[in-house]
Amino acid sequence: MSIPDSQPPSSTAPTLWNPAAETMPRAERAALQLERLRGLVTRAARVPFYRDQFAHHEIGPHSIRSLDDIRRLPFTTKSDMRRHHPLGLLAVPRKELARIHGSSGTTGTPTFVGYTARDLDIWSELCARFLVAGGLRPEHTVQVAFGYGLFTGGFGLHYGIEKVGATVIPAAAGNTRRQIDIMRNLAPEVLICTPSYALTIADTARDLGIDPRTLPIRYAHLGGEPWTEDMRREIEEQLDIAAFNNYGLSEIIGPGVSGECQAHDGMHIQEDHFLVECLDPETLEPVPEGEPGELVITNLTREAMPMIRYRTRDIARIYREPCTCGRTSIRMSRVTGRTDDMLIIRGVNVFPSQIEEALLRVEGTTPHYLIEVSRPGTLDEVHVKVEIHPEIFSDRMDRMQALCERISREIHTVAGIRAHVDLVEPRSIERFVGKAKRVLDKRNLKD
């Protein structure tokens, strides 16, 4: 079973890049997934790590009779990739690789991922789908303010844009004043960066005496870090744009696993290429429909580095009800946190995104914050530094104290913890061109 080659969006389907794939009947897609899952198991058996796992559990392509049999296959983790560093999970000879990407290695040994030429073509196709779903057209110009290099975001989206036929400005990350100069000179309609960097662009524009709403961009495709719905509204208001969310990770392919359509009702998962499970991270059993769980992703079509049941550590929900856009794939919510960045504060599980949600419910605050966790005695203490808008600052201590108390109450309502709130001046919290760093955990939890 195969899917027809994609075509540029037509006037009859202006928000679909590949109608045959994106509106495929679910029964037909499930049959395609099953066929591809069997093929994946065959390819993965070339990798010593998977071959040993299959032999131990007596698993082979013959074991896959239905999609439910995915649960018979082994999980793969970041630790497995590090144990087989640098390219021990390849299923093809090294000479067949067309490109190698990797993680930054900021939390340990970097992980590398390989792509064949066909993998790269699939990757650009998947990025083209979500970009078109979010408004990209061949006549547009796109400014990519992601890093280029080992990071998958810049190149993945770059080639997706070119596949659509739009013009790319490979601005790369950083030098925000230059980013704004490029916008004003070349008038791109579309911006690609992290959500936090979109706000940095707005802040810098104001510093330069420019109303960020007058910048020419009208759409933004934002990813690379978790962000809340309140932050989306803040970005859209400050830049006068429509902002779209997308999701991916380098271990699976990079950006392109899923992305939003113009309904803004969850991100459509590209199910013809990925089989996604939503599991309880403790029991590793499926969570009830619509409940949050850890995303576990199997890449069905990757040649160079097959990935079976990869534990992403990302927490999200899965939705199966039809979308008004006409796409028939399941959808995922935005990522609300990670199992490995979850903070346990006096027995309460807290995600940084919950703090952000609470802050943006209070008028006058900004999405720029820093969570500091310490344990001066036997109990955890949380301090949240919050930037507030300049016009909110006051010499009257009672007004500032009242604002701190409102923020603290909102944090308690959303996250269930008591936090000390420190109001700080605008631009006093460090900005990042890539993923924002929101947590400083000063506790010594390794003892």
pLDDT of residue 394: 67
**By C-alpha distance, which of 436, 121, 133 is closest to 253?**
121
pLDDT of residue 444: 66
Cα 106 to the center of its chain, rounded Å: 18
The residue from 295, 319, 340 where one domain ends is: 340
The answer to the question of residue 168 being in a domain is: yes
160/212 same-domain check: yes
253/123 same-domain check: yes
pLDDT of residue 447: 40
List the pLDDT tens digit at each of the 447 positions of the chain: 444 444 444 433 458 999 999 999 999 999 999 999 999 999 999 999 999 999 998 999 999 999 999 999 999 998 899 899 999 999 999 999 999 998 755 445 678 999 999 999 999 999 999 999 999 999 999 999 998 888 898 999 999 999 999 999 999 988 999 999 999 999 999 999 988 899 999 999 999 999 999 999 999 999 988 788 988 999 999 999 999 999 999 999 999 999 999 999 999 999 999 999 999 999 999 999 899 999 999 999 999 999 999 999 999 999 999 999 999 999 999 998 888 777 778 767 787 888 888 888 898 888 889 999 887 876 788 999 998 887 777 667 788 889 999 999 999 998 888 999 999 888 888 877 667 788 888 876 544
185/58 same-domain check: yes
User: Phi first, then psi: what are they for 441, rounded to 5°?
Assistant: -100, 110
430/321 same-domain check: no
- Report how many domains make up the chain: 2
315/410 same-domain check: no
The answer to the question of residue 447 being in a domain is: no
Report DSSP state, residue 198. Answer: H
- Give the largest Cα separation in the chain, rounded: 73
Q: Are 325 and 261 in contact (CB under 8 A)?
A: yes
Cα(224)–Cα(21) distance, integer angstroms: 25
What's the domain range around 374? 343-441
CATH of the domain at 231: 3.40.50.12780
332/253 same-domain check: yes
Q: Are 174 and 154 in contact (CB under 8 A)?
A: no
Cα(216)–Cα(125) distance, integer angstroms: 27
Q: Which helix (H) or strand (E) holds 439?
A: strand 439-441
304/367 same-domain check: no
The residue from 275, 305, 340 where one domain ends is: 340
* Count of positions (residues) in the chain: 447
The answer to the question of residue 446 being in a domain is: no
The answer to the question of residue 24 being in a domain is: yes
CATH of the domain at 405: 3.30.300.30
222/278 same-domain check: yes
179/58 same-domain check: yes
pLDDT of residue 142: 98
Instruction: Kindly report the number of other CB atoms within 10 A of residue 220's CB atom.
Output: 25
Instruction: Kindly report the number of other CB atoms within 10 A of residue 332's CB atom.
Output: 22
pLDDT of residue 346: 76
16/141 same-domain check: yes
The answer to the question of residue 287 being in a domain is: yes
Tokens of 424: 């700080």
The answer to the question of residue 151 being in a domain is: yes
421/319 same-domain check: no
The residue from 340, 362, 386 where one domain ends is: 340
**By C-alpha distance, which of 158, 93, 94 is closest to 120?**
158
pTM of the predicted model as reported, rounded to 2 decimal places = 0.81
Pairing of strands 348-350, 365-374: unpaired
pLDDT of residue 9: 42
256/175 same-domain check: yes
